[in-house]
Amino acid sequence: MATVLLTKINIGNEEFLQALVRDITEQKMSEEKLKKAAAEMKKNLAVSERANKLMVGRELEMIKLKKEINELKRLSK
């Protein structure tokens, strides 16, 4: 891959065209690697968030059950 920059130059009564060609292969490959890494991080974050919600939900359920058990113990006395 390459980028091409064309520049018109006037010198006296003559016009010239200067062309600058840059190889951007490595830059494009790096950009693609970054995109893939960002997508993988986003996926991992979503998995972590889901696991966190499940753990928090389970913990809240345990707290609720402990309260119910304690209430039953109190009532049975």
| β-sheet bridge partners, residue 16 | 9
Does the pLDDT value for residue 60 go beyond 90?
A: yes
Q: What is the pLDDT of residue 75?
A: 87
Q: What is the pLDDT of residue 77?
A: 74
Share of the chain above pLDDT 90, in %: 92
Give the alpha-carbon dihedral of 38, 42, 45, 50, to 10 degrees.
-170
Does the pLDDT value for residue 37 go beyond 90?
A: yes
Share of the chain above pLDDT 70, in %: 100
Residue 3 near residue 21 (C-beta atoms within 8 A):
yes
Confidence of residue 40 (pLDDT cuts 50, 70, 90): very high
